[in-house]
Amino acid sequence: MKIHKTRWILAIATIFVVAGCGDNSSSPSAEGKWLEAPAALTIYLANTDLIMSGRDKEGCPVVIEDVRKGLNDPEMYGTQALLKQCSDAGMEFGEEVRCKDKRLQVKCL
């Protein structure tokens, strides 16, 4: 009986020790990684109207909505550049984009 109790106590203690060893954070690959996508941004900023108006100098914020709309069309040249950015890094496209200052970033998993 004493040995049986000792086994239970050791099993419970082991569970607490193992649970306490984690750092309680998700792995970076589960959360994804944000990579800059300058080639894709250049494609979107090459719009003649943006260039003529000088708004192309504003960078990502001017085109972010167009970038997001284009995510539904994998055949679109800008979307292909986003997919390639993740692929070149050995990751998969995380289907999210954002602006960091004037730069376009893509989330890769």
d(CA 39, CA 76): 14
Domain residue spans in the chain? 26-108
Indicate the residue type of 62.
V
Q: At 49, which helix (H) or strand (E)?
A: helix 48-53
Counted residue by residue, the chain has a size of: 109
pLDDT tens for 23-52 read 444 444 568 999 999 999 999 999 999 999
Predicted structure pTM score: 0.69
